[in-house]
Homo-oligomer: A and B are copies of this chain.
Amino acid sequence: MEAVRNRIANRVLGPGDRLPSVRGFAATMGVSPSTVVEAYDRLEAEGIVRARRGSGFYVTGADLPPMALAEMGPPRERNVDPFWVSRQSLDADASVLKPGCGWLPADWMPNAALRRGLRALGRADDTVLSDYAGTRGSPALRRLLLGRFADEGLPATADQILLTASGTQAIDLICRLLLRPGDTVLVDDPCYFNFQALLRAHQVRIVGIPFTPSGPDASAFEQALVVEKPRLYITNSALHNPTGASLSPQVAHRVLSAATTHGLTIVEDDIFADFEPASSPRLAILDGLNRVIRVGSFSKTLSAAVRCGYIAARPDWIEGLVDLQVATSFGGPSPVATELIASVLAGGGYRKHMDEVRHRLARARKDAIDRLRPLGITPWIIPRGGFYLWCRLPDGQDSTVLAQRCMDENVVLAPGNVFSISQSAASFLRFNAAQLNDPRVFSVVREAMART
């Protein structure tokens, strides 16, 4: 029964299709024909198939199951599902502590500038308040981005930028443009858990590349291009999620060279760029936006409530992405959002805000390391910026078990295996240094570890 159900779920058998003959299916499954007859009869009782006299069993189509992302990947314990951390964090009420979440507390954000921007919007033209945006999004914000790219040494033109509803949606659109079900995609191991969730929705095969303190293991990467023939590689080069590591110039060059040789496209998710004290190597800059696509957003540095992301890529790809965004969302981000972001970025205050955030985060990372060490929890590396600390637990501790126990105490942790395709990070936790100011986090974690 399970085998037939799976074939229906995977669309191997569609409505109206005949099931395999009893004799043939018994041979395939290595069971007796009477077992197959019994299974087919039960499926008929459930309305999933229908017998036609003398002609066999047919799929009714009454029970095609919906896409359940949580069931699509390899089986996992429920709490290391890639959705666990996001859903627990996003839906947590104010009493829940979130040292595992992926964003700054609201009071770290440039709220005064946002309030000024909202007041200015209240005086904007009617068209800004109630009309659709153009298909590529606010020209003012795209110009601001082009200026920032030029400052980094990345020349680009207006037809190489598309604004999107979020950074995640930017990657989703790229997957829609470039991937088909069954394609292979490389990610870092560990990598941001939502890359896995997103790729499952595209029904592609995910292959992990071991991650080192200077980027992906270049030899493993080169070998995977030969063996796995991937279509895409998705990565964070700067302040990698979850490790906080940044790409070295040597690894950047090897990765891009191998990608060029094998015709691989790379998505570089640059969402943590503004947290860097000084710029580290970027694949998009080395490559000049040829086979590397840059993705970014303002959710981590400016506001997660004002949804907006962007894609910088080859003009012909941007043209295809515009069509896809019209088809699937009827355009990109809200003009209200893009006006608000442009007003904050254009004001001189944003640079000052980020200077302050970087200093505050440097202190927070140091404090966090000092308070975790007495618990036997040690950072894998000391990141040069950002809020993530990828930490190893004392011997014998399992981060999944720990996360479950701490959730019972209203503390959301980010257990290592939600980030790991190979499920080899059970002894790691990702901490957010900006979300550790309540001492209860440390006592809850200590007590949870003591129960092992």
Q: Could you show 18 A-B contacts with beta carbons less than 8 Å apart? A: A14-B182, A61-B263, A64-B231, A66-B320, A67-B176, A87-B323, A91-B134, A106-B130, A128-B305, A130-B304, A131-B305, A132-B304, A166-B329, A168-B328, A169-B330, A197-B326, A334-B334, A336-B340
State whether the Cβ of A119 lies closer than 8 Å to any Cβ in chain B.
yes
**Does B103 lie within 8 Å of A129, measured CB to CB?**
no
**Does A329 lie within 8 Å of B135, measured CB to CB?**
no
Pick from B129, B165, B331: contact of A329, CB under 8 Å: B165
**Does B11 lie within 8 Å of A182, measured CB to CB?**
yes
**Does B67 lie within 8 Å of A177, measured CB to CB?**
yes
State whether the Cβ of A44 lies closer than 8 Å to any Cβ in chain B.
no
Which A residues are closer than 8 A to B by beta carbons? 11, 14-16, 60-64, 66-70, 83, 86-87, 90-91, 103, 106-107, 109-111, 114-116, 118-119, 121-123, 125-135, 165-169, 172, 176-178, 180-183, 194, 197-198, 200-201, 229, 231, 262-263, 299, 302-307, 317, 320, 322-324, 326-331, 333-337, 340
Of the listed residues A107, A201, A262, the one surrounded by the most CB atoms of chain B closer than 10 A to its CB is A201
CA gap between A119 and B116 in the complex, in Å: 10
CA gap between A334 and B339 in the complex, in Å: 14
**Does A90 lie within 8 Å of B135, measured CB to CB?**
yes
**From A114, which residue of chain B is reached at the shortest CB distance?**
B129
**Does B229 lie within 8 Å of A14, measured CB to CB?**
yes
CA gap between A329 and B201 in the complex, in Å: 12
Top 6 closest pairs, chain A to chain B, by CB: A109-B130, A62-B263, A197-B327, A15-B229, A168-B330, A106-B126
CA gap between A61 and B184 in the complex, in Å: 12
Chain B nearest CB from A96 CB (Å) reads 12
Chain B nearest CB from A12 CB (Å) reads 10
**From A317, which residue of chain B is reached at the shortest CB distance?**
B66
**Does A111 lie within 8 Å of B90, measured CB to CB?**
no
CA gap between A419 and B177 in the complex, in Å: 24
**From A60, which residue of chain B is reached at the shortest CB distance?**
B263
Chain B nearest CB from A407 CB (Å) reads 16
CA gap between A331 and B61 in the complex, in Å: 31
Give 18 new A-B contacts, CB below 8 A, not counting A14-B183, A103-B131: A15-B229, A16-B229, A64-B231, A69-B320, A69-B323, A86-B135, A109-B130, A118-B119, A129-B306, A130-B303, A130-B306, A166-B329, A168-B327, A181-B181, A194-B327, A197-B327, A306-B336, A336-B337
**From A81, which residue of chain B is reached at the shortest CB distance?**
B323
- Residues of chain B with a CB closer than 8 A to A62's CB: 262-263
CA gap between A340 and B129 in the complex, in Å: 11
**Does B118 lie within 8 Å of A130, measured CB to CB?**
no
Pick from B109, B123, B198, B231: contact of A328, CB under 8 Å: B198
CA gap between A47 and B369 in the complex, in Å: 52
- Residues of chain B with a CB closer than 8 A to A180's CB: 11, 67, 181
- Residues of chain B with a CB closer than 8 A to A116's CB: 122
**Does A330 lie within 8 Å of B86, measured CB to CB?**
yes
- Residues of chain B with a CB closer than 8 A to A165's CB: 165, 169, 307, 329
CA gap between A114 and B200 in the complex, in Å: 39
- Residues of chain B with a CB closer than 8 A to A16's CB: 229
Once A126-B109, A229-B61, A305-B336 are accepted as A-B contacts, the answer to whether A201 and B131 lie under 8 Å apart by CB is no
**From A69, which residue of chain B is reached at the shortest CB distance?**
B323
Once A11-B183, A126-B111, A337-B334 are accepted as A-B contacts, the answer to whether A197 and B307 lie under 8 Å apart by CB is no
- Residues of chain B with a CB closer than 8 A to A63's CB: 263
CA gap between A14 and B179 in the complex, in Å: 12
**Does B194 lie within 8 Å of A326, measured CB to CB?**
yes
Chain B nearest CB from A9 CB (Å) reads 9
**Does B67 lie within 8 Å of A320, measured CB to CB?**
yes
**Does B67 lie within 8 Å of A324, measured CB to CB?**
yes
